[in-house]
């Protein structure tokens, strides 16, 4: 970042912070095809049929569904997920585009929605090279820059299209990192997943632009079950971004996604998330349940996977973007800022599973709790007996902004040999009155001072985000703190 860009931003952020609370809470008035509520094998078959899927994928879904029936929702998280009536949710909602059939043209109402979210879908309007896959409810609405990327052999499309156009690739990788047997929500997702993005970067290609998927929930009483699959072949590189918002509603909505990433020899994937699902109102009414399984497999030697997440949204967050470091000298990173306010609950962290020799991992987690919220870091660092010479560094900080919020840490460390080194540092602090007064004395009001201090606290993580996202994320932190200081 250049020196002269920083103050510009600082100021914007504060301007924004002074304004409204959740500004993505609108609903798009568009005709939506929603299948009736409820879940059984017929519904799974119907979703598969609606998407025109091959037999093998239907089989995959059905196996997952049958397995899911045998499972119970996990209760070990430090969150209170109420009993969800899975028969009271609709599992497929597709905005009906007026010009169906003509793929190039997008419904003006949808275009307007994404414009409003700051995601213009016309390629010429994009400020910088960033390709976008826009997903509304259960379907991908539009993917930009596909052709240009295709010239390099990069595949970037919705997973539904990938199933049709690149069935062998999808079949080769789908469910290999997160099998449907992984956990309750992963099984559910595998049975009913709708859309999401598919990325394939061929050998030796450095993807020239950021790829991003923007997830939007619009329809009421539906769940979103997206599925993303990213494959970076030998020596490839890609930076991928994910953003999400939803309307403000009094009832809770379920979002249970799976992200799988495969990184081959010497390849590198950067995965960044700014999660801003509707968090519920200040009394804890409504909001998204964000119950997500994200995992990457660093299969190749010298491969690298880096997760960066800024979590400010959702009533409940339950997610642990993880790295399985199978390749020798592979590298896993997890940088996280999780901010909870009002009655939000977040239980998030990572797993670093070291299987390859000399693999290294870094975990930097910054939790910020305000209001009555509960914020937990849960992490596992596991070094297999044969994985010699591994290193992990974990830094886990919590910042409390109120007396009524909670910060919790649940680290697990298992080291299977004596040539590996694991370091864990943790701090918990309260926001410092002296810092606030110092800002006040220089003319900065308390609310803005808190925004500054919190952004400073999170800077180490924010600096890992791609530039455009970093600005967004900084604003978001300030906005999410609205009214948190009395």
**CB nearer to other proteins: pick between 419 and 463:** 463
**CB nearer to other proteins: pick between 4 and 124:** 4
Q: How far is the CB of 285 from other proteins (least distance, A)?
A: 33
**CB nearer to other proteins: pick between 131 and 439:** 439
**CB nearer to other proteins: pick between 234 and 460:** 460
Q: How far is the CB of 477 from other proteins (least distance, A)?
A: 12
Query: Residue 432 has what DSSP assignment?
Result: P
**CB nearer to other proteins: pick between 419 and 427:** 427
Distance CA 370, CA 431 (A): 10
Q: Tell me the torsion sign for CA atoms 98, 100, 104, 110.
A: positive
Residue whose token pair is 């009533």: 315
Distance CA 245, CA 248 (A): 10
Q: How far is the CB of 444 from other proteins (least distance, A)?
A: 6
Q: How far is the CB of 4 from other proteins (least distance, A)?
A: 5
* Residue ranges with strand state E in 138-276: 139-143, 155-158, 197-201, 210-216, 227-232, 237-245, 252-255, 258-263, 268-275
Binding site for other proteins (CB under 8 A): 3-11, 14, 432-435, 437-445, 448, 452-453, 455-460
Helices (H) and strands (E) in the chain, counts: 12, 23
Q: How far is the CB of 432 from other proteins (least distance, A)?
A: 7
**CB nearer to other proteins: pick between 181 and 435:** 435
Query: Which residues touch 358 (CB under 8 Å, ≥6 apart)?
Result: 328, 329, 388, 389, 390
Q: How far is the CB of 387 from other proteins (least distance, A)?
A: 34
Distance CA 230, CA 142 (A): 18
Burial class (CB in 10 A: 0-12, 13-18, 19+), 166: middle
Which residue, 247, 374, 235, is CA-closest to 318?
A: 374
Query: Residue 90 has what DSSP assignment?
Result: B
**CB nearer to other proteins: pick between 355 and 470:** 470
Which residue, 431, 412, 316, is CA-closest to 368?
A: 431
**CB nearer to other proteins: pick between 245 and 336:** 336
**CB nearer to other proteins: pick between 332 and 451:** 451
**Do the Cβ atoms of 388 and 358 come closer than 8 Å?**
yes
Q: How far is the CB of 392 from other proteins (least distance, A)?
A: 24
The per-residue b/e assignment along 28-58, b for 16 or more CB within 10 angstroms, e otherwise, is bebebebbeeebeeebbeebbebbebeeebb
* Residue ranges with strand state E in 247-359: 252-255, 258-263, 268-275, 287-298, 304-311, 316-319, 322-325, 331-340, 345-354
The Cα-based distances of 121 to 110, 125, 145, 157 in angstroms read: 10, 8, 10, 14
**Do the Cβ atoms of 244 and 277 come closer than 8 Å?**
yes
Question: What is the full DSSP assignment across 331-392?
Answer: EEEEEEEEEE-TT-EEEEEEEEEE-STT-EEEEEEEEEE-TT-EEEEEEEEEE-TT-TT-EE
Q: How far is the CB of 231 from other proteins (least distance, A)?
A: 35
**CB nearer to other proteins: pick between 258 and 449:** 449
**CB nearer to other proteins: pick between 56 and 437:** 437
Q: How far is the CB of 266 from other proteins (least distance, A)?
A: 33
Q: How far is the CB of 473 from other proteins (least distance, A)?
A: 14
Q: How far is the CB of 474 from other proteins (least distance, A)?
A: 10
**CB nearer to other proteins: pick between 325 and 364:** 364
Element (H, E) at 64: helix 55-69
Q: How far is the CB of 295 from other proteins (least distance, A)?
A: 30
């Amino acid at each position: 970042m250049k020196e002269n860009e920083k103050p510009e931003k600082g100021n914007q952020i504060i301007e924004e912070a002074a304004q409204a609370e959740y500004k993505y809470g609108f609903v798009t008035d568009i005709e939506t095809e929603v299948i009736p509520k409820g879940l059984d094998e017929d519904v799974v078959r119907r979703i598969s049929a609606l998407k025109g899927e091959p037999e093998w994928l239907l089989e995959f879904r059905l196996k997952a569904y049958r397995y899911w029936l045998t499972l119970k929702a996990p209760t070990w998280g430090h969150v209170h997920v109420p009993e969800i009536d899975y028969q009271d949710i609709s599992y497929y909602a597709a905005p009906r585009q007026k010009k169906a059939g003509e793929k190039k043209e997008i419904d003006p109402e949808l275009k307007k929605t994404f414009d409003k979210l700051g995601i213009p879908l016309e390629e010429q309007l994009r400020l910088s090279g960033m390709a976008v896959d826009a997903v509304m409810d259960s379907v991908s609405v539009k993917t930009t820059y596909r052709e240009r990327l295709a010239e390099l052999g990069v595949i970037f499309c919705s997973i539904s299209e990938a199933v049709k156009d690149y069935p062998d690739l999808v079949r080769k990788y789908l469910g290999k990192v997160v099998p449907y047997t992984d956990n309750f929500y992963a099984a559910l997702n595998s049975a009913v997943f709708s859309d999401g993005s598919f990325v394939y970067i061929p050998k030796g290609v450095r993807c020239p632009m950021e790829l991003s998927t923007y997830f939007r929930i619009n329809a009421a009483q539906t769940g979103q079950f997206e599925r993303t699959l990213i494959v970076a072949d030998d020596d490839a590189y890609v930076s991928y971004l994910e953003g999400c918002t939803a309307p403000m509603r009094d009832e809770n909505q379920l979002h249970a996604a799976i992200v799988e990433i495969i990184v081959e020899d010497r390849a590198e994937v950067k995965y960044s998330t700014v999660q801003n699902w509707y968090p519920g109102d200040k009394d804890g009414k409504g909001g998204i349940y964000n119950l997500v399984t994200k995992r990457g497999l660093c299969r190749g030697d010298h491969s690298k996977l880096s997760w960066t997440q800024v979590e400010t949204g959702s009533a409940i967050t339950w997610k642990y973007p993880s790295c399985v470091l199978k390749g020798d000298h592979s590298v896993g990173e997890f940088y996280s800022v999780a901010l909870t306010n009002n009655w939000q609950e977040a239980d998030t962290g990572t797993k670093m599973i070291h299987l390859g020799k000399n693999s290294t991992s870094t975990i930097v987690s910054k939790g910020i709790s305000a209001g009555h919220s509960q914020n937990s870091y849960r992490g596992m660092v596991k070094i297999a007996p044969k994985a010699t010479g591994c290193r992990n560094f974990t830094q886990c900080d919590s910042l409390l902004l109120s007396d009524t919020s909670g910060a919790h840490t649940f680290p697990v460390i298992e080291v299977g040999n004596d040539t590996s080194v694991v370091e864990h540092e943790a701090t918990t602090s309260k926001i410092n009155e002296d810092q606030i007064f110092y800002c006040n004395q220089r003319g900065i009001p308390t609310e803005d001072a808190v925004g500054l201090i919190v952004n400073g606290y999170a800077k180490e993580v924010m600096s890992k985000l791609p530039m455009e996202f970093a600005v967004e994320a900084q604003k978001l932190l300030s906005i999410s703190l609205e009214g948190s200081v009395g």
